[in-house]
Amino acid sequence: MLVPTIPAPFPLRWGFTTRQDHPADAPPIHLRQIHGGQIHPATDAVQAGDGLWTMEPGRPIGVRVADCVPVLLAGLVRGSPWVAALHAGWRGTVAGILRNGVALFREQGGHPEALVWALGPGIRKCHFEVGPEVIEAARLDPAWHEGLAEPGPTGKFHCDLHGLLRAQALDLGLDPAKEGSAPRCTMCEPELLFSYRRGDLEGRQWGWVEIL
């Protein structure tokens, strides 16, 4: 498992599984992911959406990915631990899943600059060739800048999804000193990571977190 490269703000277990981890080490599945921006409070039910949050110790929450970026958030809300796990592909990113997660934290009384945050492995700009509709949608995001896309060898654009998420994070007031990302490229590391685009249609890695 790849663990965020920053100390946790309270006792927790968290990280990003790889294909070397046993599936039983991951949390139970409680999301039916639909590439949107909706985040739910974690319950025992399976909910349709792309993020979960909880303040409950002993309730692990997570998202499953294989090119999309898993995002973990952890911070104190009025002295109590709060965590979230988000599934951020390009659709969810432009739909505002990270913006929604930080808004939830703020609504409950948290201060965004106090959040510890980590982006996990996903397809990086080296391999993330996209159609023009992706760049057009991403351009509508207030944090977008043209440096996040560049033409690749075939002339199609390559998009920096981690870069867009990081730009959103800073736009939302998250502290760059509290970032503990492990932004490895899923396409570049077939021994370590699942990649849907490379052909792993079933295998997934998790981004998950549990308050202890």
Which element (helix H / strand E) includes 83?
A: strand 80-88
CB of residue 161 to Zn ion, shortest distance in Å? 12
For Zn ion, the closer of residues 152 and 203 by Cβ is 152
For Zn ion, the closer of residues 87 and 124 by Cβ is 124
198, amino acid identity: R
83, 67 Cβ separation under 8 angstroms: no
CB of residue 188 to Zn ion, shortest distance in Å? 4
CB burial of residue 31 (10 Å; 0-12, 13-18, 19+): buried
Distances (CA, A) of 75 to 12, 69, 144, 194, 201: 11, 20, 26, 29, 34
123, amino acid identity: I
For Zn ion, the closer of residues 99 and 124 by Cβ is 124
For Zn ion, the closer of residues 103 and 188 by Cβ is 188
CB of residue 163 to Zn ion, shortest distance in Å? 14
Q: List residues binding Zn ion (CB under 5 A).
A: 124, 126-127, 185, 187-188
Give the sign of the dihedral formed by CA 110, CA 111, CA 112, CA 113: negative
CB of residue 124 to Zn ion, shortest distance in Å? 5
